[in-house]
């Protein structure tokens, strides 16, 4: 027994190394895919790690506020923790390390699970290795928002392993641990809802303990299953789209099941042309050769499975395990615009691995009697694992860049919903505005729900300074979906650039109505209110922003500026100093403090802060100019002249700097130099020049 444990441990380490090497390119992947925007790029809770964010994820059960869809708090907390250790939209490495680690752990857990089922090490290791290297397991690793698949599988596998320990004579307390693991899996991704049914299938085969007692002991798990099933439907329906079976025609469901059964078996056996979104066959009926082939294939498969019961329960049970596990994503309840996806088969494939491990065990006796047979089997396994290794590496090549990934998807299926928008988003970031605009327009022409295309087309126009066209696109989105917070935010920004302040304020408030955690919306709204002189209201919005992100240096500075504008200098100084405690090298804060102390006639303190500002940011003409003013008040004329000249050097048409430099020369008694400044200034601003000339004449 000890020798077997040592051998199993060594083999687990070897498998982990092989799987890690196969998926290693995932660590350098920079592609963003569908849903990453809401899971990472624009998720304010993920980007503000802490107990309050974690509590929001856990407590928002029926209507999650930051991710449209079902309740998945553990997956979101997992992403938040990766963000806390340095993960960012432009640094995906921490996310990928965690995901690859989870995949390696899941592979190891599958091997342990299969070993506990059949008591044979090599069949379990071979089946587990084939899973870990399989190209269909690629998708959840570089795709950030698919952390939920890996995490849910991790807890589900633990649930099954603990259940096996219980079934092999363990304490009934282990059932409580099973329930806990089941809850963790459900709160990672609720597609693990059928797990109690999968445990019953294990009772049927290979445990051979199926009966009334086996059903009764799982009643608590079935209660949890029903509760989470209802919660999932409600949360999905409230925050995203959902289509219940009663909304289909009765004849649509059988073709869906037939298509998906054959599709997944085919892709598992022959994993070529893999993509994140597979097109839905059209027309979706037996007049389509693809659907007809799927129906025929299913009609052949099912009788074969039933007949196989004459010899073994392995084939039927393994397939039923796969089918039950994948059933929530089979499209009977529609919660997405896709019908099939590689990630859906991640955990369900354990059912097929069960049959595979059983089969390997059955042929072990036959193989071990002959050296030649062992060599043949070893060569076959090497060919299979080697082929998977190469195919996995090739697929990961497409995940190295968002543009590359989306061009790959479109090459396989040009009409995948949303893929053109994702490609356009990727090339827009590279400054390819014209191509991006054309892709957005094409998507609008072909899509029945072009919300994202209109929105991102508006962003493309905004980045080009074409604000009127951007506003038109944003208004198109509002016509389709008025409660879309993001579009109100972007519309407000465009209106702000057009100086349509009143309407911009209105849309910032609408944005916050639907996105109450949007720090940037609070900040931008408060900036507009400050300019309008509505200081108290502006301050209240700045404070709300800081409640969400208390370490935002920009918001702290803007709040202090608003307070200073209202004459509340002491309070403003408190916030500026708090900003400096967070970022002691932020030049703007030193400038603001220096400016405030100058207005308070505390020129020595003002000079110190302004000197620090120009040291940190020597290219800031305004800071040099303000420092010149302060030094003039302190009668330090030589230094004042130097900073005025620096301001003028940085900004040659800086009329106020010319004027104040001339004034400083007058104060120092250097009339000739003052007259020289007047001469230059007259070419820029004759009124200011006349004021300076009058002072000289006086």
Question: What is the DSSP secondary-structure string of 359-388?
Answer: HHHHHHHHHHT-HHHHHHHHHHHHHHHHHH
| Chain segment 606-633, per-residue pLDDT in tens | 999 999 999 999 999 999 999 999 999 9
Give residue 659's pLDDT.
Answer: 82
Q: What are phi and psi of 91, to 5 degrees?
A: -145, 85
Give the position of tokens 């369900």: 348
| Positions of E strands within 566-675 | none
From its phi and psi, is residue 277 left (phi > 0), alpha (psi between -120 and 50) or beta? beta
Which domain does 144 fall in, by range?
A: 2-395
**Alpha-carbon dihedral 8, 9, 11, 13, rounded to 10 degrees:** 160
Better-scored residue on pLDDT, 599 or 222: 222
Cβ(133)–Cβ(385) below 8 Å: yes
Total domains, the chain: 1
Does residue 459 lie within any of the structural domains? Answer: no
Give the angle subtended at the CA of 32 by the CAs of 277 and 96, to the nearest 5°: 105
Cβ(260)–Cβ(284) below 8 Å: no
Does residue 645 lie within any of the structural domains? Answer: no
| 104-117 burial: b if 16+ Cβ within 10 Å, else e | bbbbbbbbbbbbbb
SS3 457: helix
Does residue 165 lie within any of the structural domains? Answer: yes
Does residue 448 lie within any of the structural domains? Answer: no
Give 135's DSSP letter: G
Q: Give burial (CB, 10 Å; 0-12/13-18/19+) of 24.
A: middle
- 366: tokens are 């036959």
pLDDT mean over 336-358: 93
**Half-sphere exposure in the Cβ direction for 158 (13 Å, CA):** 19
Nearest to 200 by CA among 183, 223, 219: 219
Q: Categorize the per-residue pLDDT at 690 as very low, low, confident or very high, splitting at 50, 70 and 90.
A: low
pLDDT mean over 344-348: 97
Nearest to 225 by CA among 150, 328, 120: 328
User: How many other CB atoms are found less than 10 A from the CB of residue 40?
Assistant: 23
User: How many other CB atoms are found less than 10 A from the CB of residue 687?
Assistant: 9
Percent of the chain with pLDDT over 90: 67
> Alpha-carbon distance 357 to 512, whole Å?
54
Q: Give burial (CB, 10 Å; 0-12/13-18/19+) of 257.
A: middle
Rounded CA Rg of the chain: 33
Q: Categorize the per-residue pLDDT at 248 as very low, low, confident or very high, splitting at 50, 70 and 90.
A: low
Cβ(183)–Cβ(176) below 8 Å: no
pLDDT mean over 18-41: 94
Give residue 66's pLDDT.
Answer: 85
Give residue 685's pLDDT.
Answer: 66
Give the position of tokens 């802060």: 609
- 186: tokens are 């459900």
684 to 314, 319, 531: CA distances (angstroms):
90, 83, 27
**Average predicted confidence (pLDDT) for the chain:** 91
From its phi and psi, is residue 549 left (phi > 0), alpha (psi between -120 and 50) or beta? beta
User: How many other CB atoms are found less than 10 A from the CB of residue 534?
Assistant: 16
Give residue 247's pLDDT.
Answer: 59
Q: Categorize the per-residue pLDDT at 244 as very low, low, confident or very high, splitting at 50, 70 and 90.
A: low
Give 38's DSSP letter: I
Does residue 553 lie within any of the structural domains? Answer: no
Does residue 416 lie within any of the structural domains? Answer: no
> Alpha-carbon distance 346 to 385, whole Å?
18
Most confident option among 46-60, 91-105, 537-551, 635-649: 91-105
Nearest to 69 by CA among 48, 41, 39: 39
Q: The dihedral of CA 532, 533, 534, 536: what is its sign?
A: positive
User: How many other CB atoms are found less than 10 A from the CB of residue 635?
Assistant: 10
Most confident option among 534-538, 650-654, 691-695: 534-538
Give the position of tokens 């090549």: 397
From its phi and psi, is residue 49 left (phi > 0), alpha (psi between -120 and 50) or beta? beta
User: pTM, whole model, 2 decimals?
Assistant: 0.85
Q: Categorize the per-residue pLDDT at 407 as very low, low, confident or very high, splitting at 50, 70 and 90.
A: very high
Q: Categorize the per-residue pLDDT at 418 as very low, low, confident or very high, splitting at 50, 70 and 90.
A: confident
Does residue 643 lie within any of the structural domains? Answer: no
Q: Inform me whether the pLDDT recorded for 314 exceeds 70.
A: yes
Give residue 698's pLDDT.
Answer: 55
Give residue 325's pLDDT.
Answer: 97
Q: Categorize the per-residue pLDDT at 214 as very low, low, confident or very high, splitting at 50, 70 and 90.
A: very high
Q: Inform me whether the pLDDT recorded for 368 exceeds 80.
A: no
Give 509's DSSP letter: H
Long-range CB contacts (within 8 A, 24+) of 226-235 = 228/186, 228/190, 228/193, 229/190, 229/193, 231/61, 231/62, 231/70, 231/71, 231/190, 232/70, 232/71, 232/190, 232/193, 233/333, 234/62, 235/61, 235/62, 235/63, 235/64, 235/69, 235/70, 235/71
Give 334's DSSP letter: B
Cβ(530)–Cβ(561) below 8 Å: yes
Better-scored residue on pLDDT, 654 or 270: 270
Cβ(391)–Cβ(410) below 8 Å: no
* Packed helices 2-23 and 371-397: angle between N→C axes, nearest 10 degrees: 40
Does residue 48 lie within any of the structural domains? Answer: yes
pLDDT mean over 676-682: 75
Give residue 53's pLDDT.
Answer: 92
Give the angle subtended at the CA of 348 by the CAs of 397 and 308, to the nearest 5°: 120
Peptide bond into 206 cis (omega under 30): yes
| Chain segment 479-493, per-residue pLDDT in tens | 988 888 889 999 999
> Alpha-carbon distance 492 to 509, whole Å?
9
| Chain segment 113-132, per-residue pLDDT in tens | 999 999 999 999 999 999 99
**Half-sphere exposure in the Cβ direction for 215 (13 Å, CA):** 3
């Amino acid at each position: 027994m000890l020798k077997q444990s040592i051998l199993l441990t060594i083999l687990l380490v070897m498998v982990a190394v092989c799987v890690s090497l196969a998926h290693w390119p995932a660590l350098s992947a920079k592609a963003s895919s569908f849903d990453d925007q809401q899971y990472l790029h624009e998720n304010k809770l993920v980007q503000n790690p802490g107990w309050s964010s974690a509590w929001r994820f856990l407590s928002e059960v029926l209507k999650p506020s930051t991710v449209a869809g079902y309740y998945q708090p553990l997956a979101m907390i997992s992403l938040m923790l990766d963000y806390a250790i340095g993960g960012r939209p432009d640094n995906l490495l921490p996310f990928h390390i965690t995901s690859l680690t989870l995949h390696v752990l899941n592979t190891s857990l599958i091997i342990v699970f299969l070993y506990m089922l059949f008591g044979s090490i090599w069949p379990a290791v071979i089946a587990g290795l084939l899973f870990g290297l399989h190209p269909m397991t690629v998708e959840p690793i570089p795709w950030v928002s698919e952390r939920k698949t890996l995490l849910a599988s991790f807890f589900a596998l633990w649930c099954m392993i603990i259940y096996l320990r219980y079934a092999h004579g363990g304490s009934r307390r282990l059932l409580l641990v099973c329930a806990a693991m089941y809850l963790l899996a459900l709160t990672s991704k609720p597609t693990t809802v059928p797990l109690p049914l999968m445990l019953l299938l294990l009772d049927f085969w290979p445990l051979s303990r199926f009966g009334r007692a086996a059903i009764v002991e799982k009643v608590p798990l079935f209660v949890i299953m029903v509760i989470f099933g209802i919660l999932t439907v409600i949360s999905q329906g409230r925050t995203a789209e959902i289509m219940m079976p009663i909304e289909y025609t009765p004849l649509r469901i059988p073709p869906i099941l037939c298509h998906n059964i054959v599709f997944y078996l085919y892709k598992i056996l022959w994993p070529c042309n893999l993509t994140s979104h597979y097109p839905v066959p059209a027309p979706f009926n037996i007049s389509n050769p693809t659907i007809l082939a799927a129906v025929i294939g299913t009609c052949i498969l099912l009788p074969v499975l039933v007949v196989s019961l004459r010899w073994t329960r392995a084939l039927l049970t393994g397939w039923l395990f796969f089918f039950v596990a994948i059933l929530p994503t089979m499209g009977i309840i529609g919660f997405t615009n896709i019908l099939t996806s590689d990630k859906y088969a991640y955990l369900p494939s354990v059912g097929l691995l069960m049959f595979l491990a059983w089969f390997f065990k059955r042929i072990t006796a036959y193989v071990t009697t002959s050296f030649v047979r062992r060599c043949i089997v070893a060569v076959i396994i090497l060919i299979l694992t080697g082929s998977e290794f190469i195919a996995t590496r090739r697929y990961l090549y497409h995940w190295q860049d968002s543009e590359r990934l989306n061009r790959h998807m479109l090459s396989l299926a040009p009409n995948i919903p949303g893929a053109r928008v994702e490609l356009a988003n990727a090339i827009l970031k590279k400054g390819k505005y014209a191509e991006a605009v054309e892709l957005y327009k094409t998507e609008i022409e072909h899509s029945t729900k072009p919300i994202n295309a209109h929105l991102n087309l508006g962003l493309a126009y905004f980045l080009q300074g074409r604000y009127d066209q951007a506003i038109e696109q944003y208004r198109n989105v509002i016509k389709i979906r008025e409660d879309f917070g993001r579009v109100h935010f972007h519309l407000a920004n465009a209106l702000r650039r057009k100086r349509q302040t009143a309407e911009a304020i209105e849309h910032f408030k609408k944005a916050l109505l639907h996105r109450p955690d949007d720090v940037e919306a609070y900040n931008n709204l408060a900036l507009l209110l400050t300019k309008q002189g509505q200081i108290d209201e502006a301050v209240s919005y700045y404070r709300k922003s800081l409640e969400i992100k208390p370490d935002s240096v920009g918001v702290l500075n803007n709040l202090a500026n608003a307070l200073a504008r209202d004459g509340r200098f002491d309070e403003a100084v408190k916030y500026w100093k708090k900003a400096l405690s967070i970022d002691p090298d932020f030049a703007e804060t030193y400038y603001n403090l220096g400016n405030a102390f100058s207005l308070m006639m505390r020129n020595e303190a003002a000079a110190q802060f302004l000197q620090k500002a120009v040291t940190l940011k020597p290219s800031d003409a305004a800071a040099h100019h303000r420092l010149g003013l302060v030094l003039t008040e302190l009668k330090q004329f030589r230094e004042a002249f130097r900073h005025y000249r620096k301001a003028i050097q940085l900004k040659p048409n800086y009329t106020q700097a010319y004027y104040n430099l001339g004034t400083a020369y007058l104060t120092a008694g250097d009339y000739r130099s003052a007259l020289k400044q007047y001469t230059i200034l007259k070419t820029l601003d004759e009124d200011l020049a006349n004021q300076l000339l009058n002072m000289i004449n006086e």
